[in-house]
């Protein structure tokens, strides 16, 4: 299908729309995980609806020393992949288009959940994420917005923002897409050397080990995952663990050992020069 590229917010607003509009927000460097999001957006929008993919590397969510400058930018390939997956339009604005006049003085604050885990490691990150998501929701005016569950904390915060601030949009989470060896798809995987990649597989192995121990409760889940990661810290290159956490998906607080209900086992670590995150959803004990 022919996919329209627009860089102008007014052009985006002027795109004709019939049925539902579904939006998939990305920072580009699209891969099969993004394609899965677009295909699900196409299904939800229906044949008479419209699918818009946004491509924008948001400077507000990168901290000092992070990889803003080297983050991959592959717009031509992104446009082709988006079209093949079913997108009607790709909105790829400039920084000046999204933030006219420079960095915004008024921003969304992520609150306590935004200060945990990823937020503790990357202060201000989620304020930047929510600010750009809010702006892109206003600019694209979708009926439904789709996000990957690989960024589980981000998804939880977007859901909370939409609920707390009464955004008229349905938020849909799409399961993590993995490569055949279990590595979660990420635009940052291209930074991994062959040796890095071999070590990086220990992250998904740890999560799967934790998930397999779910009948033993929260302590068993944590212990099984941590055992894999402690061994992986001795590899070359090593897994340099940032955090391993078993959390309540509603607020990302650590769950107690006697917890029963939905949970997320999340990990973040650096392998070589690349920081990776991954998670698996779990059900502990009897449903609450």
- The DSSP code sequence of 75-144 is HHHHHHHHHHHT-SEEE---HHHHSTTSS-SS----TGGGGSTHHHHSTTHHHHHHHHHHHHHHHH--SE
Return the structure tokens found at 81.
Answer: 């992949």
Name the strands in the sheet holding 4-6, side by side, starting at the edge strand that comes first in the sequence.
Answer: 4-6, 89-91, 50-55, 21-26, 144-148, 170-174
- Contact status, residue 104 vs residue 131, Cβ threshold 8 Å: yes
Q: Which of 31, 34, 125, 138 is catalytic?
A: 34
Q: Which helix (H) or strand (E) holds 145?
A: strand 144-148
Q: For the chain, how many residues are written?
A: 288
CA contacts within 13 A on the Cβ side of 224: 20
> Is residue 138 annotated as part of the catalytic site, yes or no?
no
d(CA 71, CA 188) in angstroms, rounded, equals: 8
SS3 content of the chain, % helix, strand, coil (to 5): 40, 20, 40
DSSP state of 72: -
| Rounded distance between C-alpha atoms, residue 158 and residue 144, angstroms | 13
Residue 249 and residue 265 in contact, taking contact as beta carbons nearer than 8 Å: no
Query: Which residues form the catalytic set?
Result: 34
């Amino acid at each position: 299908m022919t996919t329209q590229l627009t860089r102008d917010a007014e052009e985006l607003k002027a795109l004709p729309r019939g049925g539902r509009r579904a939006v998939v927000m990305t920072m580009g460097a699209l891969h099969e995980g993004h394609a899965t999001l677009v295909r699900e957006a196409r299904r939800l929008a229906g044949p008479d609806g419209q699918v818009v993919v946004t491509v924008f590397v948001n400077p507000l969510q990168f901290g000092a020393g992070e990889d803003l400058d080297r983050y991959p930018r592959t717009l031509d390939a992104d446009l082709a992949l988006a079209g093949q997956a079913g997108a009607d339009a790709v909105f790829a604005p400039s920084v000046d288009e999204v933030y006219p006049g420079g960095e915004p003085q008024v921003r969304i604050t992520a609150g306590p959940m935004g200060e945990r885990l990823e937020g503790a490691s990357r202060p201000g990150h989620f304020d930047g994420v929510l600010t750009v998501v809010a702006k892109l929701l206003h600019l694209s005016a979708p009926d439904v917005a789709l996000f990957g569950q690989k960024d589980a904390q981000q998804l939880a915060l977007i859901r909370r923002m939409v609920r707390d601030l009464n955004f008229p949009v349905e938020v849909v989470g799409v399961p993590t897409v993995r490569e055949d060896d279990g590595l979660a798809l990420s635009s940052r995987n291209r930074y991994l050397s062959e040796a890095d990649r071999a070590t990086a597989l220990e992250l998904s192995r740890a999560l799967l080990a934790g998930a397999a121990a779910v009948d033993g409760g929260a302590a068993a889940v944590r212990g099984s995952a941590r055992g894999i990661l402690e061994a992986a810290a001795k590899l070359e290159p090593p897994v340099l663990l940032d955090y391993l956490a078993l959390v309540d998906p509603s607020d990302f607080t650590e769950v107690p050992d006697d917890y029963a209900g939905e949970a997320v086992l999340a990990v973040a670590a650096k392998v070589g020069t690349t920081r990776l995150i991954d998670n698996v959803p779990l059900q502990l004990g009897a449903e609450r």
